[in-house]
Amino acid sequence: MEDILVPIGVVGMLFIGLPWLILHYSTQWKRAGSMTREDEDLLDELYDTARRLDDRMNTIERIMAADNPEWARERALRHEAPREERIEERFEDRIAEQDVSRAERRR
């Protein structure tokens, strides 16, 4: 009797257990590939916080430029893009990423 149970168990594992395992984890990977609503809310909150911190940095830079004109010249010599331009570039990238993720969710 034991000679029959072992092959039946092996065949059961191969034809039932293995496909179930593969299908289970493939659906889990597909679900994990997209952002949840909580993730989007957190990303929005982090973006707002970064925007406020950047506004504060701009204020500090204006104060430093008013107090020390040499500092402003040194910054200009380094050819840094103004903060506003860098923030706008990041904002446009973020909007494009959200559009892509929304399009993926609609499919």
pLDDT higher than 70, residue 21: yes
pLDDT of residue 56: 93
Whether the CB-CB separation of 72 and 98 falls below 8 Å is answered with no
pLDDT higher than 60, residue 11: yes
- Model pTM? 0.43
Token pair in block for residue 86: 């860098």
Report the candidate in 55, 33, 56, 36 with the shortest Cα–Cα distance to residue 44: 36
Other Cβ atoms within 10 Å of 104 Cβ, number: 11
Of the chain, the percentage scoring pLDDT greater than 70 comes to 73
Whether the CB-CB separation of 34 and 105 falls below 8 Å is answered with yes
Tell me, what amino acid is at 22? I
Write out pLDDT tens, residues 46-81.
999 999 999 998 898 888 888 887 877 777 666 655
Average pLDDT in the chain: 78
